[in-house]
A and B are shown apart, each in its own frame.
Chain A
Amino acid sequence: MVEPILDVRGVTKRFAFNNETVTALADANLRIEKGEFVCLIGPSGCGKSTLLRMVAGFETASEGELLMWAKPVQGPGPDRGMVFQDYGLFPWLTVAKNIGFGPAARGRPTKEVRETEKRFVEMVGLTRFADAFPHQLSGGMKQRVAIARVLANDAEVVLMDEPFGALDAMTRERLQAELLEIWERQKLTVLFVTHAIEEAILLADRVVVMSPGPGRIVADERIDIPRPRDPTSPEFNELRRRLSGLLAGHH
């Protein structure tokens, strides 16, 4: 058996809330191999974002362990880049400087940082906007910057928390296609949180279905349809029906 890049073992997360303990995630187990594109899907309160944030190192597990390459995750780090729904760009930095933030923060030489900036600005098609500030960009462009800064930092795992949820439909479709292309070319491992069934089927190798009260994993479906996937095809619809059923069945 291949060693997984990410291994979530019996992870439970409890929060204190108004003097009560709320279980956000109960006994989650998940193995992800290098190069896999995995979507976490489920209604709000199912613990999908909590699981993602624990992998990122922003939260710690109450029980169980999270391993990356068999080593426990200890706090956030550049090997696990995160793309937030609200972008989280630094408003005072230009597009290029946002992309170069990670390499600069890790003390890479200035010349190398410049080259990295240039390469990744180009990669996400923002060369004309390299010196623009985030507030001058559209939502889709901001999210491209957020993806580029994670890739420019050599992230092995890209964690995405409903990254396209705030975008209009056309922009979302284009970014989904671009993301798949980058994922294939860079051999990335992607853990992608969404609540849209269609998005999950369109993107993922595996769809992990989660359910609330308490948050838990209820199914782990492999998607074998060859890419590019056609959302109007019969097998796509078949999967959509099955995942809908899984989501509805566990309320």
Chain B
Amino acid sequence: MFIFNLIFSIIKYGDDSVNTLKIIDLKVQVEDKVILDGFNLEIKSGETHVIMGPNGTGKSTLSKVIMGDTKYKILQGDILFNDESILSMTTDKRARLGLFLTMQSPITVEGVSNAEFLRVAVQGKEQKNFKLLQFVKDVESTSLKLNFSKDFIHRGLNEGFSGGERKKNEILQMYMLKPKIVILDEIDSGLDVDSLKIVGENVTEYKNKENCGLLVITHYQRLLDYIKPDFVHIMMNGKIVKSGSSSLVKYIEDNGYSEFEEKKQITGTCIVKDFLENE
């Protein structure tokens, strides 16, 4: 009876297991420059975290470090996925574990078709469970949902794609690979209002269906009209300096980041001025 109930609940509610991505005291360097410095964050299934911050503060670096880009050197700290360190894992292994990054500027690979690329990626993940017919059906239905033309799947990977099409293609890949934690690195850049709606609504639909964790890196409120955040973090100089609810986004839009900046050291000029004033 117990086994019957268990099977029934799995069929009814899907996989309810909670996945956790934990970033602990992360310090990262690239070309002798420290980009992330003491970064901490924990994302669980079903949660949506938004990271905002000025340009050059390390947001995209964070996303690439999570995925294991070898360009970056980890100086201290750890990244855990379900309590297991992933730092020694290669990028493809991290992806197969369930991490997924939508790139800010998805690259073009000449001569490799979308279909071939997706097939290799999905087959690599599903191994012996891969079924070609199901794959074709899934690609077709998802492409339709994302408003892609029929021939797009046979075109070169992102070859001749507009900015919007590239971003939608990232979402198609997300649907096909079914990740557990999704990182959206400025998915809204280069999108017109219609594409933004499609992308935003599909991300939310995917999140609700698969109960994945979301890390959204963005500069603007507009994407958050479609993807409702649970937590908003302000990132400055390689770490989170403030966390709060979605109201923080509005505050940033109105006031900018200046108040979150670290107090600057008094410069020589200031000291001289103070000295003269006091006299």
The judgment on whether A and B are partners is no
